[in-house]
Amino acid sequence: MDQLLARAGSQAVTFAIRSGITFASGYAVRTVTKFLDKIPESEKKKILDKRTKIRIKTDILGQAMDLIRLAAVRGNTSLEPSLELIEAVTGEIERFETKMSSITETLSSLNEKESVIEVNRCMDNLLTQLDEAIPLLQLSIATSGTTMKTSLSPSVSPGRLLQASSLVAKANDSKSPGSVGPVFDLVYYSVFYNPSRLKYIDHEDNKKVGVAKDDDLLAISWKEEFSRASVRILSTSTSKSSYQYSLEIREDHNDGRYHDEKPQVVVYDVKSVMRMFFSASGKLLKLESRSAPVLMFKLVDKDENEEWIALGQVGVGEFEDTSDSEEDESEDETPALQEDKHSSLSLLEYLLRLCALQQREQTPIFETSDEKLALYLQDENAKNTIYETSRQKRDRLLDEANTNNAIDFDSNMNRLKNLDLQS
């Protein structure tokens, strides 16, 4: 699916995966501080100097590790060996933290001298490991051509970015969980895999865009789960100093259709969003009935299960004429969802980028470095619009109509063949 969206030239962003070294080194430094509080002043100087060196070097390594992990996720295979080194260094820091905690807990006047010697030995060993890792990671970054730029992509909208950052900052100031930004009125899609579609597709056209005849991506299509949905970002953290967000997609039955079941609600942890793709045309989802922009998500849960979803803008005036009964039903809706709804996918995209940054880094957006902010706002693809002539569009619509008719006929024939007729 990543390949398909990359071919389509959509705007894309991959969220950085935290290496964990920042957290690990933070705990390690704090354990050293606890040990320092329990020993005489005469023994502190060497340990203080080494603690400072460890903090500085882990800060440097943290930036390099984040950059390497992000580049590796985006397909830079030359950095894969460096990931093993990153895991080894992170493990070394965690073992150091465990050892320091053990020494501090068992410290007494009887073993004070031996404990100080052991702590100095552990710190020297960790510094040696860091000194060996830093040049190797720098060499890996240099040879791969990966860079960490502070300049923003030309596709980044300063107005939307300021609007989104203002809404996120407002939510940060709130002491209780709640919505981040407005509620969005959108369409919710999920992926549908239909292998029988492969034999009806014009493979000559696909060769022109580099798609193989047996490419399973051609069997992927999208289906409309909720024709209308109320979408919002929720802050679920109970602590003002931590950040936790979820994406709530609530089915809205005020869509002019008949429903005999209760509205469904789907919730995703923002941390599970690995990639986002934006396209100015519904053509990317092969949805000819909708030409509005779409925003796609690659989700990966804690068990490494992958899922793809998409959100699309509703048509202008599509749901303006609602019946009285539908209005009555909406009275039972969550009060926060009864407010004026927005349909701007670009605002939702920027809100998600900033919330993902805060949740993964556990740092307010206004305290984030320019380099890290640029990573979360970077556009991986230069183009986000798909152009076609009117004749190409007419021919494509005719071909796809014939394909869909053939698929329907084939599906019905298969059902007849599978019927177990009793005489």
Angle between helices 21-36 and 80-106 (to 10 degrees): 20
Q: Is residue 170 part of a domain?
A: yes
Terminal CA-CA length for the chain: 47
Q: With respect to residue 152, please indicate whether it lies within any of the assigned structural domains.
A: no
Final residue belonging to a domain, choices 120, 144, 168? 144
Are 219 and 256 in a shared domain?
yes
139 & 252 share domain: no
CB 226, CB 264: distance < 8 Å: yes
The pTM assigned to this predicted structure is 0.64
Lowest-confidence pick of 46-60, 259-273, 303-317, 409-423: 409-423
Report the pLDDT value the prediction gives residue 385, as an integer from 0 to 100: 35
User: Domain ends where: 377, 393, 417?
Assistant: 377
Is the pLDDT at 168 greater than 80, yes or no?
A: yes
- Over range 371-375, report the average pLDDT: 77
Answer whether residue 400 is part of any domain.
no
Q: What is the pLDDT of residue 378?
A: 74
Q: Looking at the structure, do residues 186 and 131 belong to the same domain, yes or no? A: no
410 within domain boundaries? no
Checking if the pLDDT of 326 tops 50, the result is no
Q: DSSP per residue over 33-66, as a string? A: HHHHTTS-GGGHHHHHHHHHHHHHHHHHHHHHHH
Highest mean pLDDT: which range of 65-74, 208-217, 364-373: 364-373
Most confident of the ranges 12-16, 17-21, 149-153: 149-153
Kindly report the number of other CB atoms within 10 A of residue 292's CB atom.
18
129, 166: one domain = no
- My answer on whether 211 and 350 are in the same domain is yes
- The band of 141, judged by pLDDT with boundaries at 50, 70 and 90, is confident
Element (H, E) at 118: helix 112-144
User: Is there a single domain that holds both residue 238 and residue 332?
Assistant: yes
- Extract the tokens encoding 423: 């005489």
| Helix boundaries (H) for 145-249 | 158-173, 203-208
pLDDT band at 146 (very low <50, low <70, confident <90, very high): low
SS3 276: strand
Residues 326 and 234 in one domain: yes
Q: Which residue range is the domain that position 368 belongs to?
A: 158-377
Considering the domain architecture, whether residues 186 and 323 belong to the same structural domain is answered as yes
- Are 131 and 226 in a shared domain? no
Q: What is the pLDDT of residue 423?
A: 44
- The string over 65-99, giving b where at least 16 C-beta atoms fall within 10 Å of a residue's C-beta and e elsewhere, is bbbbbbbbbbeeeebeebbebbeebbebbbebbeb
Taken in order 28, 34, 39, 43, is the CA torsion positive or negative?
positive
In this predicted structure, the answer to whether residue 389 has a pLDDT above a threshold of 50 is: no
276: in domain: yes
- Cβ density class 392-423: b for 16+ within 10 Å, e for less: eeeeeeeeeeeeeeebeeeeeeeeeeeeeeee
Task: Look at strands 273-279 and 178-193 and give their pairing.
Answer: unpaired
Q: Is residue 126 part of a domain?
A: yes
Q: Encode pLDDT of 82-112 as tens digits.
A: 888 888 888 888 888 889 889 998 988 888 8
**pLDDT at residue 175, rounded to an integer:** 67
Alpha carbons 107 and 110: distance in angstroms, whole number: 8
Percent pLDDT > 70 in the chain is: 64
Per-chain mean pLDDT for the chain:
75
Query: Is position 6 within any domain?
Result: no
Work out the percent of the chain whose per-residue pLDDT is above 90.
16
Which of 144, 171, 188 is the C-terminal boundary of a domain?
144
Each residue of 20-54: pLDDT tens digit?
555 556 667 788 888 888 888 888 889 999 989 98
Asked if 105 and 243 sit in the same domain, the reply is no
* Higher-confidence position of 359 and 218: 359
Highest mean pLDDT, choosing among 25-39, 337-351, 390-404: 25-39
Count of structural domains, the chain: 2
Do 105 and 188 lie in a common domain?
A: no
Name the amino acid, one letter, at 411: S
- Say if 257 falls within a structural domain: yes
Residue 318 burial class via C-beta count within 10 angstroms: exposed 0-12, middle 13-18, buried 19 and up: middle
Q: Are residues 124 and 162 in the same domain?
A: no
- If pLDDT is split at 50, 70 and 90, which confidence band does 230 have? very high
Mean pLDDT calculated for residue range 150-168: 83
